[in-house]
Amino acid sequence: MLKTVKKKIKELKVVDYYFLLFLILVLGFFIYKFSRKAEVIYVDLMYEREGYVTDNVPPEYWKIMKIKEGDVGFDSFGREVVDVVSLEQSYWRNGRRNYVRLVVKMDVIFNNSSKNYVFQGSPLLIGNDLELNFGESKFKGKIVNIYKSIEDRFDGWRLADAIIKLTAEGVEPWLAQNLRTFTIDSKDYPIETLSSEVKSAVEVIETADGRLVEAVHPINKDVELVLRLENVLCKEAICFYRYQVPLTVGALFYADAGDVFLPDSSIEELNLTFLE
């Protein structure tokens, strides 16, 4: 049997080898073609900064001010592959910076083998970073949601109430008194103060002999707060207040009630009660 096969191989001509190579290429092409298909999907992106978990201060307004609904992005061949569906913003410190959630519609490839969407050669996975260019603007964000239609946007997300503990440190006395009953009376995103305690602010100072010691500030106060946030959205390990403000232990939380604001305060504890 082996001798017969060897004999047949020796009898092959150059044209036969070319024909076999052609068959292999055609077979490979069809395997590649039918294992991938073009699709259109929607992706939600949160603006990414270095130290996303522990330093989630939102971007300066000028970094996103030129991006608007209807903007398009192109690939290297000049084909339109990304459309901005919406740019959702939550103002921080009177608009000097904004939390930003970008919703885009994208032309992608679905890989049947890995069951992942692929954009310009890279897989789209929740938690991964994605950088997009829109004319003169660049947006680098963290993927927080992937869905096939606008109606499916919040499928798979879980609604929860969150209780967070934090301390507003070194605030002026008038603000400390107002923070004791900090409330946002909103139908969709209310915040209620469950408990509060005002203490003299403690700061670290350097003594005359170079030692670092803690000392009580003569004026400023620390305000320990336990807040209840309603309608928090969670998916996998990511939770958001107002769809935009990340909630993780160690992250900075900021809220503005109009007449009083809660300054940047690190979340010390986070407890979730899922409603669904």
Over residues 208-214, mean pLDDT: 84
DSSP the chain: -HHHHHHHHHH--HHHHHHHHHHHHHHHHHHHHHTEEEEEEEEEEEEP-TTTTT--PPPBGGGTTT--TT-EEE-TTS-EEEEEEEEEEEEETTTTEEEEEEEEEEEEEEETTTTEEEETTEEE-TT-EEEEEETTEEEEEEEEEEESSGGGTTTT-EEEEEEEEEEEEEE-HHHHHHHTT--B--SSS-EEEEEEEEEEEEEEEE-TTS-EEEEEEEEEEEEEEEEEEEEEEEETTEEEETTTEE--TT-EEEEE-SSSEEEEEEEEEEEEEE--
Tell me the pLDDT tens digit for each residue of 118-143. 888 888 998 888 888 887 788 888 88
Mean pLDDT highest for which of 117-121, 134-138, 180-184, 186-190?
180-184
Check whether 32 has a pLDDT greater than 60: no
Tell me the pLDDT tens digit for each residue of 219-254. 999 999 999 999 898 877 778 887 777 898 988 888
Among 50-59, 155-164, 261-270, the range scoring the smallest mean pLDDT is 50-59
Q: For residue 256, what pLDDT is reported? A: 80
Over residues 141-162, mean pLDDT: 87
